[in-house]
A = this chain, B = another copy of it.
Amino acid sequence: MVTIGDVARAAGVSRSTASYALSGKRAISAEVRQRVNDAVLRLGYTPNAGARALATSQTMVIGLLAQFLEDEFAPAMLEYMLGVSDTARELGYDTLLVTDADGASALRRITDSRMVDGLVLLNVAQDDVRLPVLRAAPQPGALVGLPGDCSGLDVFDLDFEEAGRMMVDHMHRLGHRELILVSQPEHVVERGGAYVWRLQDAALQQARLRGITLHAVFGESRQPAVGRSLNGLLDSYPDATGLLLNNEAAAAALPTVLHERGLTVPDDLSVIGRYSDGFARVFSLPYSSIESAPDRLGRMAVRQLVRRIESEAGRAEPYVVRFVAPELVDRKSTAAPRT
């Protein structure tokens, strides 16, 4: 491995001069600094991460707290993770992946030991036990997902309320008057997954406003329960002409259910989901959807975090809560209902 000593020799300066030239801790002439930088490039010198962390208080690592919960859909979570880690790398940071079941303890361990310069949290709950730890930590934090209390943190999320209203309005314009909304399982709600009730409450309110009957139910997230529950819904509400899905597992299971029942989209049933375009491609899903924008949310969170990490001005900025406006990606799965 190339050491700072090798750099100093190549630049013809003392070890401490080379070190000061790199750390910027003392004034070094531009000419010497240039010689040292040239030697660094020529030799491919990379400072020891531990030494760099102590010398600069920077680790160049971002912590990513992501839980793979049994009742949420792992492939959807992966997209958020990649949005974060790809953006971090573009900005010169590595990503420490933390998947501990006990997020609060993990967060305390990571922040106390100064392993990271900042943190991104996924799976944010309404009353998230990790947030008091994050607020007390010396490093800044950004959330993908809206908690009940946003103070002291930057927050990025899809505008789920507007997503619910858009789904209902789109179907209303086509002439639908009875719809089913399948949300995530009830235990996701119990755990504090606010995105479930935010979309559902807004959809119910908009349905009342438009004179639409909306059957709002919690779905399942695992096979074979998810297929059975979709079949049960279609049996229970035979007059419903449209299906709204805020549940990736239900969207992935629906093609098989419709095939089995001999139903065609959009002739027999109109369908709108809420998931990413990447998800639709991987799972070959033919349904129009509200784009959940996982890559964009990950990118926004990391960019804001790095602004706070890297500059005084960034640190001093007021905290933000930013919503991505939902967009409907048309895959021709909705039409006027049969009369």
Task: Say yes or no for A266: interface residue by CB 8 A criterion.
Answer: no
Task: Say yes or no for A54: interface residue by CB 8 A criterion.
Answer: yes
B100:A61 contact, CB within 8 angstroms? no
Residues in chain B near residue A89, CB distance under 8 A? 99-100
B49:A253 contact, CB within 8 angstroms? no
Once the chains are docked, how many angstroms separate the CA of A47 from the CA of B54? Answer: 12
Partner pick for A115 among B49, B54, B112, CB 8 A cutoff? B49
A99:B82 contact, CB within 8 angstroms? yes
Q: Which residue of chain B is the closest to A249 with respect to CB atoms?
A: B282
A74:B78 contact, CB within 8 angstroms? yes
User: Which stretch, A20-28, A90-98, A208-216, A309-317, touches the partner chain B?
Assistant: A90-98
B49:A113 contact, CB within 8 angstroms? yes
10 A-B contact pairs sorted by A residue (CB < 8 Å): A44-B108, A46-B113, A49-B53, A61-B96, A68-B82, A95-B96, A95-B98, A96-B96, A252-B283, A255-B255
Once the chains are docked, how many angstroms separate the CA of A286 from the CA of B84? Answer: 34
Name A83-137 residues within 8 Å CB distance of B: 85-86, 89, 94-100, 108-110, 112-115
Once the chains are docked, how many angstroms separate the CA of A186 from the CA of B114? Answer: 45
B78:A113 contact, CB within 8 angstroms? no
Once the chains are docked, how many angstroms separate the CA of A65 from the CA of B47? Answer: 21
Q: What is the oligomeric copy number? A: 2
B97:A85 contact, CB within 8 angstroms? yes
Task: Say yes or no for A246: interface residue by CB 8 A criterion.
Answer: no
Task: Say yes or no for A5: interface residue by CB 8 A criterion.
Answer: no
Task: Say yes or no for A50: interface residue by CB 8 A criterion.
Answer: yes
B50:A223 contact, CB within 8 angstroms? no
Partner pick for A222 among B64, B94, B100, B281, CB 8 A cutoff? B281
Once the chains are docked, how many angstroms separate the CA of A47 from the CA of B114? Answer: 9
Partner pick for A75 among B112, B227, B282, CB 8 A cutoff? B282
A54:B54 contact, CB within 8 angstroms? yes
Residues in chain B near residue A94, CB distance under 8 A? 96-98, 110, 115
Task: Say yes or no for A307: interface residue by CB 8 A criterion.
Answer: no
A178 to chain B, nearest CB (A): 27
A60 to chain B, nearest CB (A): 9
Once the chains are docked, how many angstroms separate the CA of A68 from the CA of B53? Answer: 29
Name A19-70 residues within 8 Å CB distance of B: 44, 46-54, 59, 61, 64, 68
A47:B100 contact, CB within 8 angstroms? no
Task: Say yes or no for A2: interface residue by CB 8 A criterion.
Answer: yes
Q: Which residue of chain B is the closest to A45 with respect to CB atoms?
A: B112
Name A227-268 residues within 8 Å CB distance of B: 227, 252-253, 255-256, 259
Task: Say yes or no for A339: interface residue by CB 8 A criterion.
Answer: no
